[in-house]
Structure 1
Amino acid sequence: MSERNTVLRSLHDVGLAAWFGGSLMGAVGLNGAAKAQGENWEQGARIASAGWAIWTPVNAVAIGVHLVGSSGLLAANAARVATQQGVAASTIAKTLLTGAALAATAYSRVLGKKIELASSDNPSDAEKSARHPLDTGKAERQLACAQWIVPALTGGLLILNALHGEQQRPAQQLHGMWQRYRTLAPHMPMPNWHLSR
């Protein structure tokens, strides 16, 4: 019951921490600094775009590291997911939240790239932007929303991660496995150890 998966947990947690922390810092600090320092919309957008462009490869690595850790932990805990009451539900919730966070991150990058092209003073970027006209006000509102959704979703993943940690306590595992067994065999009597918890 108490196998160690230190490397997988580290990959999972460090990747998620970077994904959450980077997205929150970007939404609060980078975007706020860009607005404060930019003399006009284009300059502010260029500052923010430059910062997000530098962060993107680091974020991609963090997400990849988190997904490797998550997949490894899922494989290592497959028996618990199948036999402990509540673990499958929290695992499904975590998977759905991860998918939503990935989608929001990708959508933010697509919008950010469009705004980067629209605000660029590079002639070749201006040509690319002209081929795909953009309502910058609408795109900026959507981007601001998406950039806040990412830390909200990854924060939710951190909360589910805490729940998974609680579910791994030996007493919780035993109780959860017994509850799972009872759902499969509802006429079994409840043992004394459960009543005296």
Structure 2
Amino acid sequence: MSGSVAEPAREQVVLLDEAGHAVGVADKAGVHHADTPLHLAFSCYVFDHDGRILLSRRALSKRTFPGLWTNSACGHPAPGEAFLDGVRRRVHEELGLELDDLRVLLPGFGYRAEMDGVVEHELCPVLVATTSTEPRLDPAEVEEVVWESWADFRSGVLDGTRDVSPWCRLQVEALPEDPLSAPGRPLDELPPAARPS
């Protein structure tokens, strides 16, 4: 008797209305195109215990913004997954990191960016965390990483000498000068689809 091989689960994203309520799901593989619907995402800035930020260079195989430097990790919580659990899961999958002191700093951040006709359109709360673990990269997501002084990175982004992803630039402009010591925002300020139930 021959066994059947299960198909790998398709990664899905949560579709949103303009107020941040969930209105459906879509396969991640097909959601990004010229008219990408608004969907739920996150961006996480991970620091070590010396206060350095972990910067990631997007894999060269990425469909949008390949090879650009950006914040530590970005991703999409799965439908039905608690928001913070989704952040922890994706950071571990992409970077192999365990997160400590995970906090939301920009609960209502959203953006739209386009590259070669493919649009990113996300409500993308921004979080900060620390880690004691060393990165183990998923090469499908991350080309390379580097630990860097936050002050140096921030000043380079703000003065335009540091080339980063469009969402990272907007986030650095909006983040506190010292995000590592900034207090977290209440989870009820997240978009409705990301709030604890």
TM-score, reference length from structure 1: 0.21
Give the number of the structure with larger relative contact order, counting CA–CA contacts within 8 Å between residues 6 or more apart. 1
More helix by share: 1
Larger radius of gyration: 1
TM-score by length of 2: 0.21
